[in-house]
Structure 1
Amino acid sequence: MSEKTWAAVATDVKHTEIQELDLPHVESDSGILKVEIVGVCGTDVSYYKSLKEPMILGHHVIGHIDKIGDKASKRWGVKAGDRVAMEEYIPCGQCESCRSGYYRLCPETNPALGGIRYGAAPLSAKPALYGGFSQYMYLHPQAVIHKIPDHVASVEAALTLPLSNGFEWMRIIGGVGPGDVVVIQGPGQQGLACALAAKAAGAEIVIVTGRNSSQKRLELARELGADYTINVSTEDLVQRVKEITAGKMADLVIDVTSGGQEPAVSSLKVAKTRGTVLLGALKHQLFNEFDLDIIYNKTLTVKGVRGHSHKSVQMAVEFISSGKFPLRIMNSHNYKLSDTDLALRTAGGEGEPSPLLVTVSPWL
């Protein structure tokens, strides 16, 4: 193994530089990952557009164990050469959230509270290699990893974390099962993951919504198994759901859009009485003139969701490994490390057209 690695370091707003960095010494409880492929998500783009200090972005990471200490090997149940999917979280393992299985809420994983996580740790957090846009990445003693079979195509393996969110929100939190009607607001990476997870859970009807600008993604949703799509720019959402469900409306609705308050409000309208509405995206705004009585009158359950659990990541790995769905069609762009800037711009809608799952392969 080389004692150096090339990495795309975000050094300024909307700018990365290829830099050569030192690889750390591996202690008995840590390791080094040789990065195979990294998915680019909205969180990476948000850091890229508002960078405060240099860091290596990228946290949807697939790779092979390159070097590992004895204690780490026993703890994780892996050895050199094993292929793994990384979670972004680096939890403490001791707080109430960690002990109750909600380590994604551990303060140690929250950069806003001074914690670190993969793809969001500054270069000053030694040994600096906490991002996937690099040939090698540091395996922290508290890292959470999952084995993934070698037969899975790289671009499909990169969907592990988005799909795990889908299983977390649809199956574990939402309780979706046979006979259910599910409406998913937003046909992006997270929305399509929810559609796949809902169909895998046995939902009878899965409806994905989007706007004129999302026509290709709506078509992709149908290819991946969604039963209906609705273009809310030209169709009345409430009326269409009423028609599709013969007036039953939706058992579960999730809003994973970045389109302000309107999708969240309309989600409440298409949920059935005693239905559930999940809010899975930040809005960055206050709700004005919002009639709370709809929640009371329909006795709705409204819940915010974010992140995934160990169980949902395992569910995603098993789902991807089964090969039952044409997941590779979700990959729209795959870039080499030197094109990380273009990858981030494309994922953010400012680069090449029609992005969906954008990936970076550091060894191309």
Structure 2
Amino acid sequence: MPLVKNAETAIPTTMRAVVVHGPEDYRLETLPVPVPGPGELLLRVDAVGVCASDLKCYHGAAKFWGDEHRPAWAQKGVTPGHEFAGTVVAAGDQATLDKREAALGDRLACEQIVPCWECRYCLRGAYWMCGPHDMFGFKGFDGAMAEYVLVPERALTHQVDTGIAPQHAAFAEPLSCSMHAVERGGIQLDDVVVVAGAGPIGLGAIAGARQKNPYLVVALDMSDAKLELASKVGADLTINITTEDAVARVKELTGGYGADVYIEATGHPSAVSQGLDMLRKLSTFVEYSVFKDDVTVDWSIISDDKELDVLGAHLGPHCWRPAIKLIESGTLPLEEVCTHQFPLERFQDALDLVGDSAGGSVKVSIVPGLS
């Protein structure tokens, strides 16, 4: 079947794209624009978020580059960028558009994983834990730090309103991840829920927890500015852990028992032990962060002392529709969450800002259309 594209919108033959050459060696290069085959779509990238995992990969964290214990998730020669939304400009055939209920000119957000649909996990419905685990921008498929990105037939896509800002559309990826962490927590109406970290994932978890309407949502961070933003997205109470004993305060709020659900979204080892101390007996700890270093804790707290449910959360399965709906509703202060946007040629500035704790950023994005 013939390639489907809008004859009035010319697609160039070359594009600018960031290419991974190794740790701390990412380069902006000129590459051919991919031509979609049957089952594939071509998106013009509207925006791509820069994730903390992107930064850790850039700096060569072992989890991403691999050592004798861990697989290498970042492939040399791949274009990074897994938090993205883009406009459909071409399709390999009309059947592809029909299957996705999409049309040329629509905006789509793509789930970050590209499932194989054949492994044990995919066949049992747990596609987000796919065995091969190909992911845009890390392994198997080029990501969206480029002017165009190819969407393979196996990928999952979701419609996003073209009327919202590109960087807000791309925020669907981290928000869906946050909502998955919230779902893993099994939050009940009478719960005291604590979210550690008011960065992009933590803010999304606060917003998601608020949708569950528990008794109390508490946000922890070291920045008063981020805690103020946490209040705007749904926190009932904020605690700056540099000026207040968060464990003592939460226990005071709960008659000495502790929190019902703790969601860790900082990526700092100290937040793990903090959560274990803060939780009541028979409660739930949800871990979402990507850690640079190994974390050591007293496991007897988990077992003999409190009999905790300790749960991991990975990606954002089955949470994309509610995440996009919340973004499109306009109720989140996304202008304050998506703080910095850079053109593609300033990708290095975007990476550096994510790594600058004093830089005042929350969510940093690359918008190729910026000049």
TM over 0.5: yes
| Residue of structure 1 equivalent to 2:203 | 192
CA distance in 2, matches of 1:77, 1:357: 30
**Residue 317 of structure 1, aligned match among 324, 339, 353:** 324
Q: 2:343 maps to what in 1?
A: 336
Asked if 1:356 corresponds to 2:358, the answer is no
- Range 61-70 or range 172-181, more displaced: 172-181
Q: Give yes or no for contact 1:90–1:108 (8 Å, CA) kept in 2.
A: no
Q: Are 1:250 and 2:230 matched, yes or no?
A: no
Q: 3-state SS of the aligned residue for 2:149?
A: strand
Residue-pair matches, total: 345
Alignment partner of 1:98 is 2:122: yes
1:31 lines up with 2:38 in the alignment: no
Q: Does 1:58 align with 2:68?
A: no
Give 1:150 shift. Answer: 1.9
Query: Residue 225 of structure 1 aligns with which residue?
Result: 234
Aligned to 1:113: none
Cα distance in 2 for residues equivalent to 1:22 and 1:216: 43
Residue 105 of structure 2 corresponds to 81
Per-residue Cα deviation, 1:300-349 (whole angstroms, up to 9, x for no partner): 2111222110x211110111111122222101110000000100111122
- Shift in Å, 1:85: 0.7
Match of residue 280 from structure 1: 288
Task: Specify the SS of the correspondent of 1:108.
Answer: coil
| Uncovered stretches (5+) of structure 2, i.e. residues with no partner | 1-10, 66-74
Distance in 2 (alpha carbons) for counterparts of 1:293 and 1:179: 24
Contact 2:53 2:290 in 1 (8 A): no
Match of 1:108 in 2: 132
Displacement, 1:244? 2.8
User: Closer, same or farther in 2 for the Cα pair 1:319/1:244, shift >3 Å?
Assistant: same
Q: Work out which of the residue numbers 137, 140, 154 in structure 1 matches 2:152.
A: 140
8 Å CA contact 1:347–1:355 kept in 2: the answer is yes
Is the Cα–Cα contact under 8 Å of residues 14 and 341 in structure 1 kept in the other structure?
no
Q: Distance in 2 between matches of 1:269 and 1:192?
A: 22
Q: 1:118 aligns with which of 125, 136, 143?
A: 136
Amino acid at match of 2:83: H
Partner Cα separation in structure 1 for residue 301 and residue 34 of structure 2: 57
- Measure how far apart 1:225 and its partner are: 2.2
Q: Cα deviation per residue 1:80-130 (whole Å; 9 max; x = unaligned)?
A: 111111111111112221123321111222xxxxxx311113xxx6xx7x1
Match among 134, 138, 157 for residue 169 of structure 2: 157
User: Which of 20, 26, 29 is equivalent to 1:16?
Assistant: 26
Alignment of 1:301-316 (within 5 A): 301-309=309-317, 311-316=318-323
Once the 2 structures are TM-superposed, how far is the Cα of residue 55 of structure 1 from its aligned partner? Answer: 2.4
Identical aligned pairs, as a percentage?
A: 28
Alignment check: 8 A CA contact 1:336 1:360 kept: yes
Query: C-alpha deviations, 1:6-57, integer Å up to 9, x for none?
Result: 1122334334332111123322211211100111101111221127623211
